[in-house]
């Protein structure tokens, strides 16, 4: 098994695409190569000025993987381990994700290899704006629409919109999604990914006969996705017993008080210093004795080494690619149900689509409408995947891949072969 994240992503794609016999269905084009090769990978040196007047040089990326079903769409990640292979894998999953939830976008991803959290606020703004300036001719509301990912948020999207407006002289709000509401963001976008995670957990729990008001959960990562998922799980009656962030974990057998933990983290502290629980290691959160585990940090959190210790019977992939390749087989053999990332965390890109629609119409929806439409999309996608999985006796991941691959292959074929 390959270790490069993009090579791993491709191996899974080939495995799940095999029964679809795409080459027989679409004989006039090399469909498998088309679906596994990025349309374009942009890699560039990004230099920005530090507060002490020195220059900082970083590697930056934007991968536009596939636009057969609509403009490229995908987040921007600022993190030290960002590289081209990871960005390609994330862009690859993005176009499969937009296909699973049937929204009219393709897939892209971008990032900068930088210790973003250590930068001052002016340095963060200079870096983000520099990134946007370099990519100015490659993004656009009909071309490629960035959004937040790890270490980026509404704030960074506002800065990118500002660059676009200054240089193009156009107030085209739909060039980015996940913006602040005051400049065209959508109600409910910030919470959308975590909300989508919990909608799929509730459906899977019904199918497994697990009552949420008697269930317990652990959440890895307490950023945008993890903190919202934890809050909403608790609102559904789930006892959230363990939570981690990059600095450590916290546990309370009787359930953590999530609103208080959110306030604690907002004040700039890590979860492990929360007085309402005992500090534990990050690793211990993954193997906590709970029914539901939500990995919502980074890729490959669960690998062959720690998979045997997992006690949860339901894993909801809030993060992209949190279950590594060898771990998947171990967990499948243990009978653990995994709601795959390309379905589970698709709520964010779904509400990004709603934001794009609202920007293009300049007509804004109330929160109730956003949440109701999100629920409809997530339920439709979940049940399409779960019905196929049951019918074909395959995992939810394989069913989600089959649905996504079929939709994109069909769109690619309809565009002709010349």
Structure tokens belonging to residue 168? 């193009």
Distance between CA atoms of residues 295 and 272, nearest Å: 17
By CB under 6 A, residue 258 contacts ligand NAD: no
> Active site residue: 88, 97, 109, 124, which one?
109
Figure out which of the listed residues 64, 66, 128, 151 binds ligand NAD, where binding follows CB under 6 A: 151
Tell me the site size for ligand NAD, rule CB under 6 A.
24
Looking at residues 187 to 216 of the shown chain, list those that interact with ligand NAD (rule: CB under 6 A).
193
Q: Residue 157 Cβ, how far from ligand NAD at the closest point, in Å?
A: 11
By CB under 6 A, residue 74 contacts ligand NAD: no
By CB under 6 A, residue 359 contacts ligand NAD: no
Torsion angle, alpha carbons of 109, 112, 118, 120, to 10: -90
By CB under 6 A, residue 246 contacts ligand NAD: yes
By CB under 6 A, residue 355 contacts ligand NAD: no
Nearer to ligand NAD, 229 or 412 (CB): 229
What residue is closest to ligand NAD based on CB? 223
Q: Residue 370 Cβ, how far from ligand NAD at the closest point, in Å?
A: 14
Distance between CA atoms of residues 374 and 381, nearest Å: 11
Question: Is 109 a catalytic site residue?
Answer: yes
By CB under 6 A, residue 282 contacts ligand NAD: yes
CA angle 32, 35, 38 (to 5 degrees): 130
Q: List C-alpha distances in Å: 51 to 105, 123, 310, 413.
A: 38, 7, 45, 51
Looking at residues 298 to 327 of the shown chain, list those that interact with ligand NAD (rule: CB under 6 A).
298, 318-320
Q: Residue 355 Cβ, how far from ligand NAD at the closest point, in Å?
A: 12
Per-residue burial over 115-152, b if 16 or more Cβ lie within 10 Å, else e, is: ebeebeeebbbbbbbbbbeebeeebbbeebbbbbbbbb
By CB under 6 A, residue 296 contacts ligand NAD: yes
Q: According to DSSP H, which parts of 45-136 are helical?
A: 84-100, 121-134
**3-class DSSP state of 252:** coil
Contact in structure between 246 and 296 (CB atoms under 8 Å): no
* Residues of the shown chain interacting with ligand NAD in the complex, contacts defined by CB under 6 A: 148-151, 193, 220-226, 244-246, 282, 296-298, 318-320, 345, 348
Show which residues are catalytic.
109
């Amino acid at each position: 098994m390959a270790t490069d994240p993009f090579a791993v992503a491709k191996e899974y794609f080939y495995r799940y695409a095999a029964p679809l016999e795409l080459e027989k269905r679409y004989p006039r084009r090399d469909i498998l190569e088309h679906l596994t090769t990025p349309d374009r990978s942009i890699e560039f040196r990004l230099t920005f000025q530090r507060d002490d007047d020195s220059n900082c040089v970083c590697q930056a990326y934007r991968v536009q993987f596939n636009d057969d079903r609509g403009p490229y769409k995908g987040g921007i990640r600022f993190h030290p381990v960002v590289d081209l292979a990871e960005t390609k894998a994330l862009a690859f999953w993005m176009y499969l994700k937009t296909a699973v939830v049937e929204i009219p976008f393709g897939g892209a991803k971008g990032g900068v290899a930088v210790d973003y959290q250590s930068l001052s606020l002016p340095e963060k703004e200079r870096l983000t704006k520099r990134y946007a300036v370099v990519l100015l001719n490659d993004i656009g509301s009909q071309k490629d629409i960035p959004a937040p990912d790890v270490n980026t948020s509404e704030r960074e999207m506002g800065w990118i919109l500002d660059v676009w407006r200054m240089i193009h002289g156009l107030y085209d709000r739909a060039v980015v999604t996940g913006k602040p509401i005051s400049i065209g963001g959508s109600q409910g976008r910030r919470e959308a990914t975590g909300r989508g995670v919990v909608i799929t957990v509730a459906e899977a729990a019904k199918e497994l006969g697990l009552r949420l008001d008697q269930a317990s959960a652990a959440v890895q990562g307490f950023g945008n996705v993890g903190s919202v998922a934890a809050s909403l799980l608790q609102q559904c009656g789930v006892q959230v017993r363990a939570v981690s962030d990059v600095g450590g974990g916290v546990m309370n057998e009787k359930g953590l008080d999530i609103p208080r933990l959110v306030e604690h983290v907002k004040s700039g502290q890590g979860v492990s210093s929360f007085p309402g629980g005992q500090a534990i290691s990050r690793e211990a959160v993954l193997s906590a004795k709970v029914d539901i585990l939500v990995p919502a940090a980074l890729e490959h959190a669960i690998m062959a080494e720690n998979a045997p210790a997992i006690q949860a019977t339901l894993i909801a992939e809030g993060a992209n690619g949190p279950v590594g390749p060898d771990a998947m087989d171990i967990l499948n053999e243990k009978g653990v149900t995994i709601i795959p990332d390309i379905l589970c965390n698709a709520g964010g890109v779904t509400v990004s689509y709603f934001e794009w629609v609202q920007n293009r119409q300049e007509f804004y929806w109330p929160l109730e409408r956003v949440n109701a439409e999100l629920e409809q999309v997530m339920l439709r996608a979940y049940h399409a995947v779960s019905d196929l999985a049951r019918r074909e006796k395959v995992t939810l991941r394989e069913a989600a891949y089959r649905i996504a691959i079929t939709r994109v292959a069909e769109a690619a074929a309809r565009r002709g072969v010349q």
